[in-house]
């Protein structure tokens, strides 16, 4: 055990013991002081307010999520806002999800904002993260926060901060906020004069305003009227979508909405699932079983803060399969662009956005319709940035990332599972009109643009040693890059940390016009792409494998898919990921 770390943690714990006011918290600190390992984990550093805000294990300690850390972060945010947006209205919006302590943390932050003379608009019930983004814009707020840890395990909670446009803060603002938060060294620096008059509850009618915006996105309302009897099974996975999603689908005109009632109860322990992550098929087990009972057309699942959507559909063998985020994004992008073209609504100034680790099939689709496509770093805040920068010049159509996040339209500036669900429901009607399922529509897309297969390997490395291991892995790939991958020559290396793209055939390099990020990509002669990046929110390093093949005959889908899956296994072994 590192004695310096222990001593640092011990001194910080004593400071907290002297300064916290809650007797229960004092007793908890006393217990932690008796356990060296837990003491270091809880107090060896301050929970980092990163570029996406806070995220950590709930509990007492400077390295945990608790009221004190939340209040210090909020005071730092207030100080930042005062310096950078002195002429903006002093209004802030706050939302929170169903996680343990979320409401408590939200109202703790509200008291600090109010003490700093902000008018606070706060929901009195759990609400999806995209609705927080919409609230910031609707109430002309200078900032907003949402208390959530997205799909992390139940032990976690988090805090995300947003700017006046409804998108998360980007550089240099994100780094400036971090600096202001770091300056708060003592609880005494937190303004705490309670002012109840400054805190306003957002009315229930807000839901209707939000739904009205989603209704504007619908392209073919007539198809919904015709196929209103399609069957949808929905689960909020104990999260925030439990009220708004059924209300939205009914408002659109769908009549057969089957709710997984056991999972419609907001529950921070997520008691019916191993993980509330719609990327994992096991999270949808109850919903899929229900779908089999009622013969549902589509299964829909949202994560706890309802910004990411999981979709399960029947394949050509009538088995329910979970679409990955790339597939969902491809279906939506294809549908929207195809229908805008058919209605002569593409004017030539439209654009879509994807992240650098999202499937290249989106580029193929966009190019087919002569629509501009942008690549951005991982994180929806970069998509929001592009929307803001192009306002009044170009029209944003849609954008997304492989991790189940997507956004259609620009009234919200973060990924939005609620509106995405509405679009998927509409697309199901469009497919039905052609006597197709969503899966058959996906095969049609693969037939036109190529069969893309993506998989991801995440390796968890916890603690200080884990952080060092992740750094060493990244260093090794930079200093010893692979020459071949699955017997394919590596022809291009993109290093987003050095912002250099090197063509290994011509030996030419060019600048990558994106902010620095610890990501490296290897691209082969056959368009295989391997992307490697440390996670920004979890103690993991992620490997993204993207493969492509032609699909001239839909009947060959499973054979062609198996070829790509076998190839992925070879790559996983070559990179020693298994």
Active site residue 419: no
Looking at the structure, tell me whether residues 493 and 443 fall in a common domain.
Answer: no
My answer on whether 424 and 473 are in the same domain is: no
Beta-ladder partners of 121? 93, 200
Q: Is residue 211 part of a domain?
A: no
353 vs 350, 375, 538, CA distance in Å?
11, 6, 24
Closest CA to 296 of 220, 236, 235: 235
Over the stretch 544-566, which tens digit does the pLDDT of each residue have? 999 999 988 888 999 999 999 99
Q: CA-CA distances (angstroms) from residue 20 to 17, 24, 112, 177?
A: 6, 10, 16, 24
- Average pLDDT, rounded, for the chain: 95
Residue 563 lies in a domain: yes
Q: Is residue 46 domain-resident?
A: no
- Pick the catalytic residue from 102, 150, 419, 531: 150
Say yes or no: 224 and 350 in one domain: yes
Tell me, yes or no, whether 443 and 312 share the same domain: yes
Q: With respect to residue 30, please indicate whether it lies within any of the assigned structural domains.
A: no
91 and 136 fall within a common domain: yes
User: How would you label 79-109 residue by residue, b for 16+ Cβ within 10 Å and e otherwise?
Assistant: bbbeebeeeeebbbbbbbbbbbbbbebbbbb
Q: What would the pLDDT profile of 7-65 be if each residue is shown by its tens digit?
A: 999 999 999 999 988 899 999 999 999 999 899 999 988 888 876 789 999 999 999 99
Q: Which of 373, 19, 366, 383 is nearest to 168 (CA)?
A: 383
- Kindly report the pTM of this predicted structure: 0.94
User: Are 281 and 300 part of one and the same domain?
Assistant: yes
Do residue 479 and residue 563 come from a single domain?
yes
* Structural domain that includes position 431: 217-449
Q: Could you tell me the CATH number of the domain that includes residue 396?
A: 3.40.120.10
In a domain, 490, yes or no: yes
The reply to whether 28 falls in a domain is no
Same domain, 100 and 180: yes
The closest of 393, 403, 195, 385 to 310, measured between CA atoms, is 403
Closest Cα to residue 542, out of 550, 531, 528?
A: 531
The answer, yes or no, to whether residue 124 has pLDDT greater than 90, is yes
User: Is the Cβ–Cβ distance between 96 and 159 less than 8 Å?
Assistant: no
Neighbours of 319 (CB within 10 A): 12
Q: How many independent structural domains does the chain possess? A: 3
Q: What is the DSSP string of 265-284?
A: S--TT-TT-S---TTSGGGG
Each residue's pLDDT tens digit, 425-450:
999 999 999 999 999 999 999 999 99
In this structure, the answer to whether residues 145 and 242 fall within a common structural domain is no
Count Cβ atoms below 10 Å from residue 349 Cβ, excluding itself. 11
Q: What is the pLDDT at residue 1?
A: 53
Over residues 158-176, the mean pLDDT reads 94
Confirm whether 183 is domain-assigned.
yes
What average pLDDT score do residues 282-307 get? 98
CATH number at residue 527: 3.30.310
Length of the chain: 578
Q: Are residues 263 and 184 in the same domain?
A: no
Read off the pLDDT of each residue in 330-343 and give the average, rounded to a whole number: 98
Q: Read off the pLDDT band of 467 (50, 70, 90).
A: confident
Domain boundary among 449, 473, 503: 449
Question: Nearest 10 degrees: CA dihedral of 422, 424, 428, 430?
Answer: 80
pLDDT in the model for residue 255: 97
Q: End of a domain among 397, 425, 449?
A: 449
Nearest of 516, 508, 578 to residue 545 by alpha carbon: 578
pLDDT digits (tens, 9 = 90+) for 139-162: 999 999 999 998 888 999 999 999
Strand 395-401 vs strand 350-355: parallel, antiparallel, or unpaired?
parallel
Q: How far is the C-alpha of 337 from the C-alpha of 164, rounded, in Å?
A: 30
445 lies in the same domain as 514: no
Last residue of a domain, one of 156, 177, 202: 202
- Domain assignment present for residue 70? The answer is no
Share of the chain above pLDDT 90, in %: 88
pLDDT tier at 197, thresholds 50, 70, 90 = very high
- Kindly state whether residues 480 and 559 are assigned to the same domain: yes
Identify any residues that bridge with 501 across adjacent strands, giving them in sequence order. 494, 510
For residue 49, what pLDDT is reported? 82
Strand, helix or coil at 160?
strand
């Amino acid at each position: 055990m590192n004695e310096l770390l222990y001593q640092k943690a011990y001194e910080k714990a004593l400071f907290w013991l002297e300064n916290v006011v809650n007797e229960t918290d004092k007793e908890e600190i006393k217990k932690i002081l008796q356990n060296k390992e837990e003491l270091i984990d809880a107090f060896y550093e301050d929970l980092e307010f990163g570029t996406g805000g806070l995220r950590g294990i709930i509990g007492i300690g400077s390295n945990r999520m608790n009221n004190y850390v939340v209040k210090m972060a909020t005071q730092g945010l207030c100080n930042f806002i005062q310096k950078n947006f002195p002429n903006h209205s002093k209004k802030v919006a706050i939302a929170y999800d169903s996680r343990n302590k979320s409401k408590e943390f939200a109202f703790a932050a509200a008291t600090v904002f109010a003490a700093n003379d902000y008018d606070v608009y706060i929901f009195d019930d759990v609400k999806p993260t995209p609705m927080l983004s919409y609230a910031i814009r609707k109430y002309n707020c200078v900032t907003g926060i949402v208390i959530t840890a997205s799909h992390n395990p139940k032990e976690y909670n988090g805090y995300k901060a947003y700017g006046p446009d409804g998108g998360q803060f980007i550089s240099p603002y994100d780094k400036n906020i971090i600096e202001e938060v770091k300056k708060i060294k003592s609880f005494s620096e937190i303004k705490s004069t309670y002012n109840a008059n400054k805190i306003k509850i957002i009315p229930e009618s807000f839901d209707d305003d939000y739904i009205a915006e989603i209704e504007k996105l619908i392209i073919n309302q007539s198809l919904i009227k015709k196929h209103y009897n399609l069957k949808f099974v929905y689960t909020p996975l104990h999260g925030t979508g439990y009220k708004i999603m059924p209300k939205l689908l009914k408002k659109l005109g769908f009549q057969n909405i089957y709710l997984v009632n056991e999972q419609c109860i907001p529950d921070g322990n997520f008691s019916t699932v191993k993980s509330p992550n719609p990327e994992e098929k096991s999270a949808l087990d109850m919903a899929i079983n229900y779908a089999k009972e009622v013969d549902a057309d589509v299964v829909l699942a949202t994560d706890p803060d309802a910004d990411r959507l999981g979709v399960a559909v029947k394949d050509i063998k009538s088995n329910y399969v979970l679409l990955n985020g790339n597939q969902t994004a491809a279906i939506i992008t294809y549908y929207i662009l195809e229908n805008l073209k058919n209605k002569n609504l593409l004017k030539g100034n439209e654009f879509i956005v994807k992240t650098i680790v999202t499937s290249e099939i989106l580029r193929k689709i966009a190019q087919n319709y002569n629509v501009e496509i942008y690549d951005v770093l991982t994180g929806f805040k970069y998509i929001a940035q592009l929307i803001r920068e192009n306002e009044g010049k170009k029209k944003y159509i849609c954008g997304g990332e492989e991790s189940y996040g997507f956004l259609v339209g620009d009234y919200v500036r973060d990924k939005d599972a609620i509106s995405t669900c509405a679009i998927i429901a509409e697309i199901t009607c469009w497919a039905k009109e052609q006597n197709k399922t969503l899966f058959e529509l996906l095969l049609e897309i693969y037939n036109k643009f190529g069969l893309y297969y993506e998989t991801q390997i995440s390796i968890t490395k916890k603690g200080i040693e884990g952080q060092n291991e992740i750094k060493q892995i990244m260093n090794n790939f930079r200093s010893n890059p692979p020459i071949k991958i699955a017997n394919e020559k590596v022809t291009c290396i993109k290093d987003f940390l050095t912002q250099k793209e090197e063509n290994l055939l011509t030996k030419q390099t060019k600048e990558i016009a994106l902010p620095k990020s610890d990501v490296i990509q290897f691209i082969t002669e056959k368009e295989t792409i391997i992307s490697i990046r440390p996670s920004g929110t979890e103690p993991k390093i992620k490997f993204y494998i993207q493969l492509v093949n032609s699909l001239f005959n839909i009947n060959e889908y499973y054979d062609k898919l198996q070829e790509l899956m076998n190839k992925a296994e070879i790559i996983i072994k070559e990179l020693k990921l298994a």
